[in-house]
Chains A and B, each alone.
Chain A
């Protein structure tokens, strides 16, 4: 198992900085997920680690050794591409053995590695087929198999599930998690899907505009997002950001939220000025309960029934949009007024610049 260190890594195309100084240490055997919206630089960063893109400045170390100048094949990595990048003219066996043949490994060793990987991925019966004779899911397994046979110290996955249908995506996700548990290699996984990030990662790195916005375990990111961007990116439906007027911030923080007064303990003296946003996850809102603090009422505009949950869209009295996720099948109609309550300990306060303001420990 191998560690990775990224030290002030930058990537520029002319005057445009794509990656703007990334510092990150990845522990041996860790599965780290790079997540972020399109264009945030997550794939570029992965390709720089792979050796497919030169690093403009900064230092990349794999297993303690500087890798900036090393070619892709010398970095001890294997990569699974979004398109799978299988060689269409080769059989599955040849696809998996190509790298080993290139390294002039003895034939018997190649055969044993390929068959072992095929067994792990349950593709032994496909070894003589060509990629065009395989389904999307099978191609994905071959792509993973091609990575496994190299016995790399680091696995890189570039949005590997994005070409699969929903059901297969869930299934393959579970298999990748199991693979990680079985072989214990260091893995970096790029996705724009926050569910993949939450379910797979030991640690999530949220990127925006070529910078790390936050790195932490999935629950750290969920429970204590560093800013509005991270808070909004992780969680579905996304967190409600309710604009509120700061009434007082000397002792407890007192907010005026659409005419309802909300008092938050532990935020006093945090330099909040005239306005702040109150971040409330839809699943933390309660309706028809007398527990928690009063948040006023929402007028329902639209209802989605998911069977296990009911997602209610509506507006507060001042017109701000709000979404609530209620457990079970609730009979809620558009136009109805619902009184909202929330456990304030699960709310987040963001200042005017979008930074999360942490409460003092009680």
Chain B
């Protein structure tokens, strides 16, 4: 062993401690944030999920009763699952397709590309806000912009899309798809990564633009599609603001916009059933983890990694 290798053992213990303390000092903002704002509440919610707790009294241990009720005896949980799964299964693929289509168009090297990119990205920045949700409520109301356009163009008097239980969820899906900007930017970066000579080889091989898209672009873009799909799915499961604003926090009409997180919120802050809401939160964690795990398991069958 060389002299240099021996050196660390000769450093006095107080000096090493002082160095480590400095290191932890610099880490402390993150550490405090993580333990106090993330891990602590998460652990306490795990504990609360096994209790009956209304904020007014001490938590009362009920074992797995909350989970049992969720599994067997909660029609609103089933309604929320139904709404949320509909939302996830519609909004994620639609958003992916829309973002990819726009990215492919923008990748053609058109003039003013940077402007278009910024304009298309804008809804992603502001789309999740309360203001946009309020605006959305106006747009799809019975006297909103959509119905005015339908009346002008086709003479069709549309319903209040938001007040109608069979259409309300689709207005929220549309709002989600409208925020395709960040996925589009990632797709654009992915498209730029595909070497041009791959397309040149394919064009010499006689492949049409469409065949090139399906045989070259899409397979080489699968890592990006996978990334976007996972992130969008997680986001969609956690969606809250639009449904809350559009239904005034009720999830109505007739629970047709009762997103899972909205139901969880109602249980906690309207019904003060914090134990039950905590159990709902952990069930959502399990669902998202399950979906993500499934995605990763499926990836080896359809995602192509170059290296």
- A residues contacting B by CB (< 8 A) are 50-52, 71-73, 77-79, 81, 83, 85-89, 98-99, 102-103, 132, 146, 150
Q: Which A residue sits closest to B211, measured CB to CB?
A: A102
Given A98-B215, A102-B211, A132-B306; A85-B200 close (CB under 8 Å): yes
Q: Provide 19 A-B residue pairs closer than 8 Å at the C-beta atoms, listed in order of the A residue.
A: A71-B203, A72-B203, A72-B204, A73-B204, A73-B206, A77-B204, A83-B197, A85-B195, A85-B201, A86-B201, A87-B202, A88-B220, A89-B222, A89-B304, A98-B202, A98-B207, A99-B205, A103-B206, A132-B307
Q: Are A81 and B206 in contact (CB under 8 A)?
A: no
Q: Are B206 and A88 in contact (CB under 8 A)?
A: no
> Contact check: which of A77, A87, A146, A150 meets B198 at CB < 8 Å?
A87
Measured in the bound complex, the distance between the Cα atoms of B216 and A51 in whole Å is 20
A62–chain B nearest beta-carbon distance, Å: 14
Q: Are B205 and A73 in contact (CB under 8 A)?
A: yes
Residues of A within 8 A of B306 (CB): 88, 132
Candidate in B197, B201, B206 with the most chain A CB atoms within 10 angstroms: B201
Given A83-B195, A89-B304; A102-B205 close (CB under 8 Å): yes
Q: Are B197 and A81 in contact (CB under 8 A)?
A: yes
Residues of B within 8 A of A99 (CB): 204-207
Q: Are B201 and A79 in contact (CB under 8 A)?
A: yes
Q: Are B203 and A73 in contact (CB under 8 A)?
A: yes
B160–chain A nearest beta-carbon distance, Å: 48
A281–chain B nearest beta-carbon distance, Å: 38
Residues of A within 8 A of B206 (CB): 73, 99, 102-103
B187-233 residues with Cβ-Cβ distance < 8 A to A are 195, 197-198, 200-207, 211, 215-216, 219-220, 222
Chain B, interface residues (CB within 8 Å), range: 20 to 34
Q: Which B residue sits closest to A143, measured CB to CB?
A: B201
Given A52-B200, A102-B211; A89-B195 close (CB under 8 Å): no
Candidate in B195, B202, B211 with the most chain A CB atoms within 10 angstroms: B202
A279–chain B nearest beta-carbon distance, Å: 39
A153–chain B nearest beta-carbon distance, Å: 13
> Contact check: which of A78, A81, A85, A102 meets B207 at CB < 8 Å?
A102
Residues of B within 8 A of A85 (CB): 195, 197-198, 200-201
Q: Are B204 and A50 in contact (CB under 8 A)?
A: yes
Q: Which 6 residue pairs of A and B lie closest in terms of their CB atoms, listed nearest first?
A: A99-B205, A73-B206, A89-B304, A85-B201, A85-B197, A89-B219
- B residues contacting A by CB (< 8 A) are 195, 197-198, 200-207, 211, 215-216, 219-220, 222, 304, 306-307
Q: Which B residue sits closest to A99, measured CB to CB?
A: B205
Residues of A within 8 A of B198 (CB): 85, 87
Measured in the bound complex, the distance between the Cα atoms of B202 and A78 in whole Å is 11
Candidate in B205, B206, B216, B304 with the most chain A CB atoms within 10 angstroms: B205
Q: Are A52 and B220 in contact (CB under 8 A)?
A: no
B40–chain A nearest beta-carbon distance, Å: 45
- Knowing that A85-B195, A99-B207 are A-B contacts, what are 7 other residue pairs whose CB atoms are under 8 Å apart, sorted by A's residue number? A72-B203, A72-B204, A73-B204, A78-B204, A81-B197, A99-B205, A103-B206
Residues of A within 8 A of B204 (CB): 50-52, 72-73, 77-79, 99
B304–chain A nearest beta-carbon distance, Å: 4
Q: Are A88 and B207 in contact (CB under 8 A)?
A: no
Residues of B within 8 A of A77 (CB): 204
Measured in the bound complex, the distance between the Cα atoms of B207 and A68 in whole Å is 19
Measured in the bound complex, the distance between the Cα atoms of B205 and A50 in whole Å is 11
Residues of B within 8 A of A73 (CB): 203-207
Residues of B within 8 A of A102 (CB): 205-207, 211
> Contact check: which of B201, B203, B220, B304 meets A81 at CB < 8 Å?
B201
Measured in the bound complex, the distance between the Cα atoms of B201 and A72 in whole Å is 9
Measured in the bound complex, the distance between the Cα atoms of B202 and A46 in whole Å is 17
A140–chain B nearest beta-carbon distance, Å: 14
Residues of A within 8 A of B304 (CB): 88-89
Residues of B within 8 A of A79 (CB): 200-201, 204
B219–chain A nearest beta-carbon distance, Å: 4
Measured in the bound complex, the distance between the Cα atoms of B307 and A89 in whole Å is 11
Q: Which B residue sits closest to A88, measured CB to CB?
A: B306
B205–chain A nearest beta-carbon distance, Å: 3
Residues of B within 8 A of A52 (CB): 200, 203-204
Measured in the bound complex, the distance between the Cα atoms of B205 and A146 in whole Å is 9
Measured in the bound complex, the distance between the Cα atoms of B214 and A87 in whole Å is 13
Residues of A within 8 A of B200 (CB): 50, 52, 72, 79, 81, 85
Q: Which A residue sits closest to B208, measured CB to CB?
A: A102
Measured in the bound complex, the distance between the Cα atoms of B195 and A337 in whole Å is 56
Measured in the bound complex, the distance between the Cα atoms of B200 and A146 in whole Å is 14
Candidate in A51, A73, A78 with the most chain B CB atoms within 10 angstroms: A73
Measured in the bound complex, the distance between the Cα atoms of B165 and A197 in whole Å is 75
Candidate in B204, B219, B306 with the most chain A CB atoms within 10 angstroms: B204
Residues of A within 8 A of B202 (CB): 87, 98
B87–chain A nearest beta-carbon distance, Å: 32
> Contact check: which of A71, A78, A89 meets B220 at CB < 8 Å?
A89
Measured in the bound complex, the distance between the Cα atoms of B205 and A86 in whole Å is 12
Q: Which A residue sits closest to B200, measured CB to CB?
A: A52
Q: Which B residue sits closest to A78, measured CB to CB?
A: B204
B9–chain A nearest beta-carbon distance, Å: 44
Residues of A within 8 A of B307 (CB): 132
Residues of A within 8 A of B215 (CB): 87, 98
Residues of B within 8 A of A98 (CB): 202, 205, 207, 215
Measured in the bound complex, the distance between the Cα atoms of B263 and A60 in whole Å is 71
Measured in the bound complex, the distance between the Cα atoms of B206 and A52 in whole Å is 12
Q: Which A residue sits closest to B306, measured CB to CB?
A: A88
Residues of A within 8 A of B211 (CB): 102
Measured in the bound complex, the distance between the Cα atoms of B206 and A269 in whole Å is 59
Residues of B within 8 A of A51 (CB): 203-204
A157–chain B nearest beta-carbon distance, Å: 13
B215–chain A nearest beta-carbon distance, Å: 7
A213–chain B nearest beta-carbon distance, Å: 28
Measured in the bound complex, the distance between the Cα atoms of B201 and A89 in whole Å is 14
A235–chain B nearest beta-carbon distance, Å: 32
Measured in the bound complex, the distance between the Cα atoms of B222 and A87 in whole Å is 14
